[in-house]
Amino acid sequence: MIRIENLSKNYGDVKAVQSISFSLNDGEIVGFLGANGAGKSTTLKMMTGYLTPTTGNVFVDDQNIIDDCIDIQKQIGYLPELNPLYFEMKVHEYLKFHAEIRGVKDSEFNEALKRVVNECGLQGIVHRTVGNCSKGYKQRIGLAAAMIHDPKILILDEPVTGLDPNQIVEIRSLIKKLGKEKLVLMSSHILQEIQATVDRIIIIDQGKIVADGTSEELISDSKGLTKLKLEIVEGDENDIKNMEATIPSIKVQGINKQKESIMIQIEYQNASDPRQDLFKYAIEKNWIITEMSIHKRNLEDLFRNLTLTKGDKANA
């Protein structure tokens, strides 16, 4: 288990990460989201011991990153955003180089090589030069290097950046498989990919944690409200305004007159469902309903709401 306590990182007057705290459990796949400059990579680098925190600490079981950095790094496999590959080396040479740094040698390395080649799907390219491999294979090679010492924790910074849709699906399947055995923390700008891969999402904005939970928990409206769009023909604006008095569970948020129809924005509590009452009201007023649809929030809506500035939200 990893425990982050009051972790901060300052660069002069710039507060990149501001006293954040959260815990990660064994066997979890956790997505770490944030806009550019939000503090994602800085946090991951502090968790792996590549950066020293200004304040706070990272605990892995009974050890901490300040006093036990080397011991903790032995338990972590880290794939940074910029995959540090040596293009002139053969794939097996590159993996052997990483293994020897980790103290994995001789027969132990041979077993480790078989394991990561199988897990990362590197069969057929082990003797190929790294620079001659595709982008997808390069990501797999970087992941194999992070896994060569069989760590119990994997920290992946933007592991699917630059991959095509087929390659993304392959890496997603691999990460899901690894998540059954290891704690996996991954950051990504591809929101749909995070939603499809992880068990839990943490969102950071301007160095602070602004959300933490499953995608279902975070997407459900915190105010408990549902938005409904109703499009009608031959409606009267006074009748629209009187809807709230007839159907108290709804609130009309907007009326937009179009060329041949009227678009009505309605809001109501999740616990109630006024659609039957709205339909009956429409029949009573001789309206023709051309659309009645519920707007469901998605991860993109949530992310934008949490990370856009007030000015940006007003213009969105």
In the chain, the domains with their CATH numbers are: 2-219 (3.40.50.300), 225-296 (3.30.70.3190)
Within 8 A by CB and 6+ apart from 158, the residues are: 81, 187, 188, 189
Residues 267 and 294: their CA atoms lie apart, in Å, by: 10
Average pLDDT over the chain, rounded to an integer: 90
Residues 200 and 87: their CA atoms lie apart, in Å, by: 35
Q: Which of 117-126, 235-244, 272-281, 305-314 has the lowest mean pLDDT?
A: 305-314
Confidence bin at 312 (pLDDT 50/70/90): low
pLDDT at 314 (0 to 100) = 42
For residue 313, pLDDT beyond 50: no
pLDDT at 262 (0 to 100) = 94
Tokens 């009187």, residue? 242
Stronger pLDDT, 259 or 308, i.e. the higher one: 259
pTM of the predicted model as reported, rounded to 2 decimal places = 0.77
Contact between 245 and 288 under an 8 Å Cβ cutoff? The reply is no
